Amino acid sequence: MNNKDKLPEFRVILERVVEDEEAYPTGDDTPHYEYQGRRTKLGGRPDWMQGNDFACPSCPHCGKDATFVAQIDSVEHDWDSNPHRIDSLSNEQKWMFGDVGMIYAFFCFDCLEPVAVFECG
């Protein structure tokens, strides 16, 4: 059994984001690395890391655009502002998708079909 078979468990506390706010700051005045590891969120729009040209996936059954549901960050990113950081040289990081990548989950509400995509940081 390799150490990726079961990830350490985190409790997720949901807090509705009010209109005109973001789950975390994404403006140009925020360094991109400041929130890495803490960008997990539900709903809104996906925060693509490789630019805005990455198209939302379509449903494999009906072909319509799937609805964005969630993004799951590399929770253990080794950065001072991240409370869940783990030393990147320790070989103890498990919540690390590639190089601080993100998993994006989508859903087709007509076909009840999930779709997930990944981007590397």
Residues within the interface to Zn ion (CB under 5 A): 59, 61-62, 108, 110-111
> Closest approach of Cβ 105 to Zn ion, in Å?
15
35 φ, ψ (degrees, to nearest 5): -110, 5
Q: Are 103 and 49 in contact (CB under 8 A)?
A: no
> Closest approach of Cβ 32 to Zn ion, in Å?
33
> Closest approach of Cβ 64 to Zn ion, in Å?
5
User: 59: buried, middle or exposed (CB in 10 Å: 19+, 13-18, 0-12)?
Assistant: buried
Whose Cβ is closer to Zn ion: residue 59's or residue 105's?
A: 59
> Closest approach of Cβ 106 to Zn ion, in Å?
10
Rounded Cα distance between 34 and 98, Å, is 18
Whose Cβ is closer to Zn ion: residue 7's or residue 62's?
A: 62
Whose Cβ is closer to Zn ion: residue 67's or residue 88's?
A: 67
Whose Cβ is closer to Zn ion: residue 35's or residue 68's?
A: 68
CA separation, residue 81 to residues 8, 13, 34 (Å): 20, 19, 7
CA separation, residue 99 to residues 59, 77, 93, 118 (Å): 27, 9, 12, 11
